[in-house]
Amino acid sequence: MTSECNLPAFDILNSLHEGLYVLDLQRRITFWNKGAEAITGYASSEVLGRSCADNILVHVDDQGTFLCDGLCPMAQTMQDGQFREAEVYLHHKEGHRVPVLVRAAPLRGSQGEITGAVEIFAENSTRLEERRRMEQLEKMAMLDALTQLPNRRYLRQSTLSRLAEHERAGWDFGLLMIDLDNFKRVNDTYGHNIGDKVLRVVAKTLSQVSRPYDVVGRWGGEEFLALVPNVDIQNLTQIAERYRALVERSRVTWKKEELSITASLGGTMAHKGDDLESVVERADRNMYRAKAGGRNRVMLG
């Protein structure tokens, strides 16, 4: 079975917006539709005949745990024949992580035996609204040109608005300062073009794995800032850990070498009487505590 098959059924599968692929019992990819190409960046010619775990989708959960070694919905479905649905983060060809809803179903032969499995996956619908918002920001000169995230000007205005709401109505929010680890070394060793690529990959991951009402932007240099409403300190910690884990599972390749990407995160909840400088300074101070504590970690306070 290949994506070049001329049967009408396969034309229909290739017309789907959702990604769809088929595995045999050895977990080799035997079909890869146009939707899968669009969502993952991988052409069918790059994946047909390869194992799904062979450095292609490499699903992880929201804690960054690899699912290809036993927790994969497709592998479980081929073992017990049960339908499954899960929210996972797949690896895009460009290196960032994409949140998708996957549905796995068994394929059976004429005698009812399991012969493989099929997975349908789709991007979270909230990403479409995110794209529209970014287009509007670009028109308003509030978008960072390199990362295509909101820029510092927009982040400052958004934080000021949240502070005003916090004072007026008591609406809680948190702030996360996200700083890439050893970024100067990346620029010095591999050049600024690779450094820029790292920034773009991290920016895409942060944007893709955020909630639709959170705001993540580029604060400056290798620093990103996330404005996280409607949370308490426990929720903020969980979100920060998700960012940290999924940045670590993002990747940039240079001459067949996979570069390690990690970030240190500092966070804080807004306090009564905070102004822009005080809340940002507190998040920044906690970020430096994370750096001093060994990097690739979260510090809140």
Same domain, yes or no: 108 and 225: no
pLDDT attached to residue 123: 83
Same domain, yes or no: 116 and 153: no
Asked if residue 2 is part of any domain, the answer here is no
Lowest-confidence region among 162-171, 184-193, 226-235: 162-171
Same domain, yes or no: 97 and 237: no
Same domain, yes or no: 89 and 149: no
pLDDT attached to residue 181: 97
Name, of 20-29, 74-83, 203-212, 221-230, the range with top average pLDDT. Answer: 221-230
Per DSSP, the three-state class of 215 is strand
Same domain, yes or no: 100 and 154: no
* Angle at 18 (CA atoms; ends 118, 87), nearest 5 degrees: 75
Q: How far apart are CA 180 and CA 269, in angstroms?
A: 21
Q: How many domains does the chain have?
A: 2
Asked if residue 3 is part of any domain, the answer here is no
Active-site entry in 18, 37, 119, 222: 222
Same domain, yes or no: 273 and 166: yes
Q: pLDDT band for position 69 (50/70/90)? A: low
pLDDT attached to residue 124: 67
Asked if residue 1 is part of any domain, the answer here is no
Q: How far apart are CA 239 and CA 206, in angstroms?
A: 11
Same domain, yes or no: 111 and 149: no
pLDDT in tens, 221-236: 999 999 999 999 999 9
User: Residue 60 phi/psi, 5° resolution?
Assistant: -130, 160
Asked if residue 94 is part of any domain, the answer here is yes
Same domain, yes or no: 277 and 158: yes
CB within 8 A of 236, min separation 6: which ones? 174, 176, 228, 267, 269, 300
Same domain, yes or no: 210 and 280: yes
37 is catalytic: no
State which residues form the domain around 211: 127-300
Q: Which residue in this structure is represented by tokens 């490499």?
A: 58
Same domain, yes or no: 235 and 134: yes
